[in-house]
A and B are shown apart, each in its own frame.
Chain A
């Protein structure tokens, strides 16, 4: 009965998205494992997707959902390339952290 009373509003989704984005951003900054950092980036992307969908539902406009499709397609492509790079790096230097990969410093 109480459960039925809680009708999720747009705000809930936005708060959830903000929390997910925060977790992703923090993870990106504090973790060193490239694979984990990569997952954090995905988390941030999907947090943004969530806001798109939430607003699209809220305003009854399909544009947001369309944008999400594009983001997902691009993210899929990005995962393929990104994972490929990370795996080839780790194969060459097993156990390397993101901090070790600083060959391009000025």
Chain B
């Protein structure tokens, strides 16, 4: 299957083109099944390629498939080539797998939407871009995918663009991501300048072989991190992600939780030799940005009332964990957490989608409650996701979070403490959400959302006015939930730590699989004191999770204390509004000044040259009188002048 690795992006491309041409005729739900089938094809090819790669020797597990020469410009030679190695196939497996499940879910969720086929058009385009991003053999192919997923993200956030907020959120995501793309492009340019190639093999080879100066490597790594900060919604560029929840919920699950936002982590892992060759400060900055983002977003999530906003800030926070791992040199742990997070966060987003669907497009958690009686399967699967993200063993999130914390402790105790506090907060806000949505008393009434229903799915608007009763979602939406719940429960199995009670051949599977890719950058902590006491640390992490859960239960279920949800947390520390105010006020003036400079100085110079030429030509025109005798006279004068010059000036005669 390795030779046909190009089929992975080709399937969604075919799906995209088919729906583009015949989407309207196929309609609801055929277009959805077609799109899902295309992604399933990609998944099957990924699985085949995975087994092919597995059968090879560890150090031969790298296959480059060149389709054609893409940019042949003298010394810049870029191929449209795909790289199949353990890292890209790990990504492919979970991206296409989860994308397939979310496509299935979306067939149910988007049922009755007037733009049903268009939605799947964008989803297929997204999967195409994402697989290009992952499989790209060089930075340019990855960049193509990088921009592609950004564009699809924009389309899908603004999918219901008749809502002002959705249209604005789409623009915000797009513009914010521009800042990150700037970093990505500069890194690419510097890499080409220094190495003469943008392929991963050449760049990482140069970094490993010491052919790059440390300053160059630092610049490339730091600028790539700027790109990653934008795409993966880290502080200070995270503010587009919570707004991105304006998109349909399957989009939030697929793009803004499971796959696209992890592209930054993937990029840093792919370039890990560059990070290893860069100044150590870069890694430290990454670790602290990640840790700060994790804590910062977790505090905001505590006070959100929108069911999707909680998950959005939670996603930002978990991405912070991944960057904490990357900064601590724990690339395997970062990928591990990326995979488990994709399982449980996709599960919870789809679960929230199921809730929103069942509640007729109500998203306010204060108007929910007791839903477990009405949607038992959604509730049950959501609970598994909750246990996974809260860090309760043996669910997936516990293992990956624990591994990151272990590396963080070796890097710096400060990072470890921030990570632990975040873990407590994570358990707290997720428990709060569970209780508000699925337990307690029903706070919805028969007319709770007559006005909200009108702005969402038209098909449900009519039912919302009559007797209101939440309902369980159809089977096609529940199957993905059940599968993802299973994965969230046992996902930790791919990378179990070396605890005494775990059989040897079950441990560190992902690490040995990814080893050829990350060996240059991966930190080695087996000698440290933290590693020797890792069982104790795990117990500490479990205790933190239980504290968070316990406090939330005490406050929201038992009502032992009044909930503390300060205004400032609900407003996200006023960061978003401050940025908006700044951009709208002084920022706006600065942009106006730049626009003025552009108009008068830059355009002025360009237009000035044009005016000079046309003005000069206008003057010169006047010499062409059209009068023959005039010309003859000028010729005569010229001849005389030449004669004088030859005779007197040159001394002829």
Contacts and interface: CB of A to CB of B under 8 A. Distances in A.
A104 B625 CA distance: 8
B622 A106 contact: yes
Given A25-B636, A29-B633, A29-B636, A101 B624 contact: no
Contacts of A105: 624-627
20 contacts: A29-B629, A29-B632, A29-B633, A29-B636, A37-B628, A37-B629, A98-B627, A98-B628, A99-B627, A101-B626, A102-B625, A102-B626, A102-B627, A104-B624, A104-B626, A105-B625, A105-B626, A106-B620, A106-B623, A106-B626
Interface in B594-653: 620-629, 632-633, 636
Contacts of A98: 627-629
Nearest to A34: B628
Contacts of A101: 626, 628
A17 interface: no
A57 to B, nearest CB: 22
10 smallest CB-CB distances across A and B, nearest first, come from A105-B626, A102-B626, A106-B621, A106-B624, A98-B628, A104-B626, A28-B632, A105-B625, A102-B627, A29-B633
A interface residue count range (under 10 / 10 to 19 / 20 to 34 / 35 or more): 10 to 19
A106 B619 CA distance: 10
A32 interface: yes
B629 A99 contact: yes
Interface in B253-289: none
A67 to B, nearest CB: 19
A83 B625 CA distance: 23
Contacts of B636: 25, 29
Contacts of A28: 629, 632
Nearest to A104: B626
A105 B626 CA distance: 4
Interface string B466-487: 0000000000000000000000
A28 B633 CA distance: 9
Interface in A15-68: 25, 28-30, 32, 37
Contacts of A32: 629
Contacts of B629: 28-30, 32, 37, 98-99
A14 to B, nearest CB: 14
A103 B627 contact: no
B623 to A, nearest CB: 7
Nearest to A30: B629
A89 to B, nearest CB: 12
A20 B435 CA distance: 117
Contacts of B627: 98-99, 102, 105
A39 to B, nearest CB: 14
Interface in B234-252: none
B632 to A, nearest CB: 5
Nearest to A28: B632
A53 B274 CA distance: 85
A32 B629 CA distance: 8
Contacts of A102: 625-627
Contacts of A99: 627, 629
A102 B632 CA distance: 14
Contacts of A104: 624, 626
Contacts of A25: 632, 636
Nearest to A98: B628
A27 B155 CA distance: 80
A102 B629 CA distance: 11
Interface in A67-106: 98-99, 101-106
B636 to A, nearest CB: 6
A98 B625 CA distance: 12
Contacts of B623: 106
A45 to B, nearest CB: 14
Contacts of B621: 106
A25 B639 CA distance: 12
Which among A37, A104, A105 has the highest number of chain B CB atoms within 10 Å? A105
Nearest to B618: A106
A30 B633 CA distance: 10
A32 B620 CA distance: 25
Given A29-B629, A101-B626, A106-B625, 15 more contacts: A25-B632, A28-B629, A28-B632, A29-B633, A29-B636, A98-B628, A101-B628, A102-B626, A104-B624, A104-B626, A105-B626, A105-B627, A106-B620, A106-B623, A106-B624
Nearest to B624: A106
Nearest to B622: A106
Contacts of B633: 29
A28 B627 CA distance: 12
Nearest to A105: B626
A82 to B, nearest CB: 12
A37 B621 CA distance: 25
Contacts of B628: 37, 98, 101
A104 B624 CA distance: 8
Interface in B317-361: none
A103 B626 CA distance: 6
Contacts of A103: 626
B515 to A, nearest CB: 78
A20 B625 CA distance: 28
B235 to A, nearest CB: 65
Nearest to B621: A106
Nearest to B617: A106
Interface string B76-116: 00000000000000000000000000000000000000000
Contacts of A29: 629, 632-633, 636
Nearest to A99: B627
B622 to A, nearest CB: 6
A32 B632 CA distance: 12
A101 B627 CA distance: 7
A104 B633 CA distance: 17
A52 to B, nearest CB: 18
